[in-house]
Amino acid sequence: MGVVVMSDIPIKYTQLFINNAFVNAISNKTFPVFNPATEEKIIDVAEAQKEDVDAAVAAAKKAFSRGSPWRKLDASERGKLINKFADLLQRDSQYLANLETLNSGKPLEAVVAELEVYINILRYYAGYCDKIHGNTVPVDGTGFALTKKEPVGVVAQIIPWNYPIGMAIWKLGPALCTGCTLILKPAEQTPLTALVLAALTKEAGFPDGVVNVLPGYGPVAGEALCLHMDVRKVAFTGSTDIGHKILEYSAHSNLKRVSLELGGKSPLVIFDDADVDGAVNIAHAAIFENHGQNCCAGSRTFVQSGIYDLFVKKAVEKAKARKVGNPFDQDVLQGPQIDKPSLEKILRMVESGKQQGAKLETGGSRVGSKGYFVEPTVFSNVKDGMTIATDEIFGPVQSILKFDTLDEVIERSNNTQYGLAAGVITKDINNALVFANAVEAGSVWINCYDYITPQTPFGGCKKSGFGKDLGPDSLDDYLETKSINIMLPVKV
């Protein structure tokens, strides 16, 4: 494979976005952003420090203050602003797709398709703005009571590098819908499209201070946001290890609300009665989509013993046919991993699989010497206790395990610290529903995988975190419930 040539894509924004303006970091510090397909530097971006966090939080706090333009805005008008934001995202989708591919290594065609979903997510939340309301409550005695839903306030949103635009939209949508103000910290590997989204919110007409975007490093900017006494909520998507730290930061500061979408080791269970070719296709996409860099990837493929050997044979053929290369090429399905540490971790995990007795059927090596490319990899004869079956790899490595009975595979599926997602492929509705009812996972897909829509909540249990993105449930994490009680008759 030849070296991928960097596309000539203009970089429009490299500064911090605070109070509706692009500004340098107060320290004037910057950090480099790289193209993972070439390992070449794309550009330097402003690096937020604690003092920049303080400035952004102050702007967000002012924007949330009583009587501010944002707080006085009708809920229906918030919806119009979000719809305008969606319009602009659609207008600039080709530029955003090219920039995302350059910065993250995701295949261009995949990003184009994803953007349509992200636009729909914004429109979903735009339509929800004037439908958030409380209730009247039939209380004991002669009183009259009602509840009112109010925005939490200033929120910090810390997102990962695997879906840079998508994770930003997942977080921005409910925060803006509920009337919060926010500071978004993109991953240091992929800040470029988040800054474009910031510019689009300004063009859409969001008031000063409502949306702020701070590129920077987690241990500096992220930690400062999590410890800030004026931040009332943190929404985080990323690793379980960092999730632990964010809970500590909440306890050490103002007990701010926290929602966490963390790691996964999700089971995809395939029964004997499944169409093998269809199951192979679903399982292939479940693990190899986005180069395996997907928290809910079907990274434990359980196949019933009657079709196990045939499934492995076809899965290997499918993996071998997957084209790896320049993410701007139309027929490429897999670009590079995000960075060198990710590449090295994947190769270490592959080596552990071989050493622990799994059978390497195909792949397992780096592709080329330039860029962070990994061969699509398939292991068979994987056992539950092997590292590749217990630990999140976050790479294009399919681990295929054998099972015999429904009860057995339910127990083995649940034998993990994670609980983000699960899938089952079968023609037997009883097996499908028994599994879906028993598996410990936030999302369960039947005869499909990774089927995520704006309307359906997404989030995990156990060490995969708590709280939801998407759907109406996501709004709860950005709202406070106020009870108002009135004694009748009123005597004053």
How does pLDDT run across 291-348, given as a tens digit for each residue?
999 999 999 999 999 999 999 999 999 999 999 999 999 999 999 999 999 999 999 9
What does the pLDDT look like over 70-106, one tens digit per residue? 999 999 999 999 999 999 999 999 999 999 999 999 9
Report the distance separating Cα 249 and Cα 227, nearest Å.
Answer: 5
What does the pLDDT look like over 20-34, one tens digit per residue? 999 999 999 999 999
Domain 16-262+467-480 has CATH 3.40.605.10: yes
Strand, helix or coil at 167?
helix
The answer to whether residue 5 scores a pLDDT higher than 50 is no
pTM: 0.96
pLDDT band at 2 (very low <50, low <70, confident <90, very high): very low
Is the Cβ–Cβ distance between 17 and 199 less than 8 Å? yes
Positions of CATH 3.40.605.10 in the chain: 16-262+467-480
pLDDT band at 1 (very low <50, low <70, confident <90, very high): very low
The answer to whether residue 479 scores a pLDDT higher than 90 is yes
Count of C-beta atoms within a 10 Å radius of residue 253: 15
Angle between helices 164-178 and 108-128 (to 10 degrees): 10
Q: Which residue from 301, 281, 264, 280 is spatially nearest to 397, judged by alpha carbons?
A: 301
Q: Judging by beta carbons within 10 Å of its beta carbon (0-12, 13-18, 19+), is residue 168 exposed, middle or buried?
A: buried
DSSP 434-464: HHHHHS--SEEEESSSS---TTS-B--EETT
pLDDT at 288: 98
The answer to whether residue 365 scores a pLDDT higher than 90 is yes
Catalytic annotation, residues: 261
What does the pLDDT look like over 146-189, one tens digit per residue? 999 999 999 999 999 999 999 999 999 999 999 999 999 999 99
What does the block give as tokens for 236? 């985080």
pLDDT at 444: 98
pLDDT band at 8 (very low <50, low <70, confident <90, very high): confident
Q: Judging by beta carbons within 10 Å of its beta carbon (0-12, 13-18, 19+), is residue 136 exposed, middle or buried?
A: exposed
Positions of CATH 3.40.309.10 in the chain: 267-454
The answer to whether residue 6 scores a pLDDT higher than 90 is no
What does the block give as tokens for 341? 């540490």
The answer to whether the peptide bond before residue 489 is cis (omega within 30 degrees of 0) is yes
The answer to whether residue 111 scores a pLDDT higher than 70 is yes
Fold of 267-454: Aldehyde Dehydrogenase; Chain A, domain 2 (3.40.309)
What does the pLDDT look like over 222-251, one tens digit per residue? 999 999 999 999 999 999 999 999 999 999
Mean pLDDT for 10-28 is 98
Taking the CA atoms of residue 71, residue 74, residue 77 and residue 82 in that order, the dihedral angle to the nearest 10 degrees is 50
Q: Which residue from 234, 284, 277 is spatially nearest to 254, judged by alpha carbons?
A: 234
Q: Judging by beta carbons within 10 Å of its beta carbon (0-12, 13-18, 19+), is residue 337 exposed, middle or buried?
A: buried
The percent of residues above 70 in pLDDT, for the chain, comes to 99
Mean pLDDT of the chain: 97
pLDDT band at 7 (very low <50, low <70, confident <90, very high): low
What pairing do the DSSP bridges indicate for beta strands 257-261 and 267-270?
unpaired
- Using CA atoms, how far residue 406 sits from 222, 305, 426, in Å, is 43, 12, 11
pLDDT band at 489 (very low <50, low <70, confident <90, very high): confident
